[in-house]
Structure 1
Amino acid sequence: MAGRPAGFSDGESDDDEFGVYEAPASLPNLRVRPPINPLPQTQVIKKSDVDLEDFRIATMKGNLQSVKLYVENGVSVSQVLRSGWTALMYSVSCGRWQITEYLLDNKANPNFHKELFTPLMAACASSHEVEDDLVKCVELLISHGANVNATERHKVTPLMFACKEKRLKIVQTLLKRNEINIDLQDHHGWSALMWAADKGDGAIVRALLEHGEKGADTHLMSSSGQKAVDVALIAGHKDVAALLDLTLKPQESPAPAPPPSTDSIATVTELETVLMGLDLTCLLPIFYEHKMNYDSFLLMDDGDLDRMGISQVGYRTRLLNAVKEIHTKEWERGSLPAIQYSKYLSCPEATALVGNLAIHGRYMLASVAYLRDQIQRRPRILQLGMETASVHALSAQTQYAIKQISELQSQLKFLKLYLDKVQDKAEFVPADLITERNGYRDKRDRSFWRRPWGRYIVMAVVAFTGGLVLWSTPSRFLQHSTAVLLVA
């Protein structure tokens, strides 16, 4: 997808290309399991004998009778099942609206979340074939207080999920809510309108444009500087782009959403997301009071927690373990944008790619500072685990990192030199023709001999000199010519 750099991988999986949550892998594979027969009404299930996996499958299969028996015999409707989902999340994802209604009537939490992913998002992101079933589930969730403006860890809303899955009826259902904010943007600056434009769904685009008095904002820009019309054009949806272009009105230089590499609201959002994942949002006011952002969070230690007045052992342990995990977690391929070599990059895509490199550089800088601080405070850690990695190995890895970053710096300098040279020109030249200003190639290209008029001057001087010599010694030249003729 165009113009979307993948951000820092803080526990994200390789499906992080555009911040879309994937349902648990076990969800679609229902056919491989034997059908579950309804339990006899007279059968009493002991709580200790309850198989939660059977309860989960009964929910997914739509076996209301079995679900009721499990609940009546002690299984909580809020029981966390496989993959961290509740029965409500499984029921709405499978379009089982009867079970959804039963669970909600029995006080199932419509705003429960698994890593900020809610039941309403599960319904909107579902691949269930019958959309009407999903619409009923959405209506039930909303009627029981589901938050239509909730955002998951990538700031994607239920409306964005519905636009991505091209669910027109669900979109229309969500738009009926007065409190819905259709212009929210995810962590790449994409709005619901941009998601719909990327999918080329004209009906959803029109529904968003016609919502309320003003409709969706067509002037919103992503972090890479794209409007919805640009997204549609890059995706090849010319009809949708034409529709969006008609709604654009002249406006004074709209500013793009802040790129992820700046220390702005995006940084605060990263900190907020981490604390939400740790279930420590209660500490946000303390972090803001001490002007802590995500960069300073990555360098946090016991001393910082003491200064902030966070004394609870459980809180401190969770925070410090999270900092360590962020620094030591292996980078995943999904944290970098996948470049399709069969296509040319656009300027917004190139901007996004370099922006992604910049934010990775910021995290690397924080990790090196964290490592130095750890070693300087507790040098003894260099003696731990010597049987698997020694200080010599650490030094060698550090030297290798210096080499790689030095090469990266050289490549970036060369790119910057080229961009500075072509940025104000109408026609750009290939990058392999750009050389250092004082390089050998540059001197050769400007040499006297390589210019046509230079060669003409040299030839004229030679001819003039030869003529002058002949004119000054005519007798000797005639004698020599006569001798040559006689010999011939």
Structure 2
Amino acid sequence: MAQFRPAGLSDDDSDSDDYGFYEKPVRKYFQPQLNEKKKIENNLQEAIINGNVQEVEEIVAAELNDQVNTKLDSGWTPLMHACFHAQDKIVKLLLDKGADPNFHSDSVTPVMTACSNSSANNATIYNIVMDLIDKGCILNIGDKYGQTPLMRAISSGRAAVVEKLIYLKVNIEMRDQQGWTAVFWAAHHNQPEILEILIAQGARLNEVDRHNRRPIDIAESHEYTNIVEIFKKHLNIEEDEQSDSTYNLEMTSWQEYYPGMATGERPNYCNEIPHLLYGMNCERLTPLIMKSGMDLRSFLLLEEGDMIKMGIEMPFERQRLISGLKNFHLRGWKLNAVSGLYAAKSENYSVLECLTTLGTHLQQIYILEATLQYSLREYNRIQNKIKFEPPDSPTLLKVKSVAKKLLNNINNIRRESKIMKRRLNKIVRRNPEPADLIREKTVHEIAKEYVTQALVVMSLGLLAYHAKNIFINFLKK
């Protein structure tokens, strides 16, 4: 994510702006009284709107003592007003008098105000932006919402300005506060020409914002068919793409609640991955992860290096997934979630209840094993830091306490597993071998039944035919 506070600019509107690598200009602001400032600003703004260059020059000279960087009552300077109202001649006058092109008010700079104007003609806005660039205005910055001059120019439909900014190598992948890049802005404001310009410069089309939406999703929500067609053309999206991005997770038989039981293999619970991705707001990664064939344990132990190898290119997405996995492993287990039949407090249990509880516990143990591996891996990473802690360190005491609880829980699971094993063995010894559970017939079995029934019918038909002949012959005699 881009920094929302403009690069090189402070968090307030004081005169202590840090220009970073730029030499800080010397400012000698003239500060008239508050009521006078309102009057001066009203007169100045009226002169700017009317495009009266001479009157503006007189006000700056007489009322502001030629201090063109004076912060007026609104917090704006005369230059910001001139840029906002698209008065290119007045902008040039003020810049020649030493107006600061990088002055900011609440993180808004003159070039941002110029690019926000959507009513002036394109040539005027282009000239103003060029004059500001000639005076060294900073372009790769965002306001407090992360909106850059490029984004504002896109929203106003200034294609020529966008081309110029791209020519000057502005960062087209900077993000605003909601995670939108320039492509998102072009899609949202229905700017097909600008979108084609961005695509020609290699802009990324498959990025997602903070709500996991792609630019094409934004265009489809607005029903901008021309924008959608541009995305489809460059992304090679077919009409039946839905089949590649959706997965049938519906259970068709009760055995599927216990993955691996029907095949005799160890369960992998991969059907849980899409649900977890949805909860982590990472469902866009579902096709990529599901096609990799990984099981749930591998997913829960993913590291950033694994994500890069899989093709998750954006740090924004990787960080969201890493954070989601960490929160999953840190979650607490309530007693009712793991106690199973004990919490039901019933004297008689059905076979289905026992199977359901057993399947749930198997999955819980599977997940706890992955969490234990995750915890051990993270502990090894901080082990070098912990060993330098004093014996009575709060951090070390907390780690020891957590480790003791974890060891106690593991021992409890082992004890309960042994008890369950003894009881199951006892049941097996005292009871006959159970009959096979009713299951759905396979296609082969159904076909075999049909063939058998057909043979029986044919045999009965032949038998009836022969019996009829025998009976007729008997009557003739």
TM-score, structure 1 as length reference: 0.41
Q: Which has the larger radius of gyration?
A: 2
Which structure's relative contact order is higher, taking Cα pairs within 8 Å and 6+ residues apart? 1
TM-score, structure 2 as length reference: 0.42
